[in-house]
Amino acid sequence: AQTVTQSQPEMSVQEAETVTLSCTYDTSESNYYLFWYKQPPSRQMILVIRQEAYKQQNATENRFSVNFQKAAKSFSLKISDSQLGDTAMYFCAIMKYTSGTYKYIFGTGTRLKVLA
């Protein structure tokens, strides 16, 4: 069975500082995809960044980057130069291919608050 664990229910960071959200996962598959989604108070789920497991290079997207450690099954999200608009719930997810489609398993989320 696949699981995704986010061990930090809540975090806070000062504006312009850097924060890292942790995520660990468990899978028996050799190839898979990992995602971070952001959910602001509007409830909309917004893709932040995606990582393909067969790629060794860590994905980056502007101020967002990941530290992907495949052997340790760890996939942390680093937010640099934090902004007030980064305040949101952040969900880590792993995707697997089964029964003709791709399905996600989500973690329970980390609530991030950026302080002015």
Partner 1 sequence: NAGVTQTPKFQVLKTGQSMTLQCAQDMNHNSMYWYRQDPGMGLRLIYYSASEGTTDKGEVPNGYNVSRLNKREFSLRLESAAPSQTSVYFCASSPSGAGGHNTQYFGPGTRLTVL
Interface positions with partner 1 (CB under 8 A): 4, 9, 33, 35, 37, 42-45, 47, 50, 91, 95, 97, 99-104, 106-109
CB of 10 to partner 1, least distance (A): 11
Closer to partner 1 at the Cβ: 42 or 116? 42
Closer to partner 1 at the Cβ: 12 or 40? 40
Region of residue 86 (left: phi > 0; alpha: psi -120 to 50; beta: else):
alpha
Among 86, 112, 113, which Cα is nearest to 22's?
112
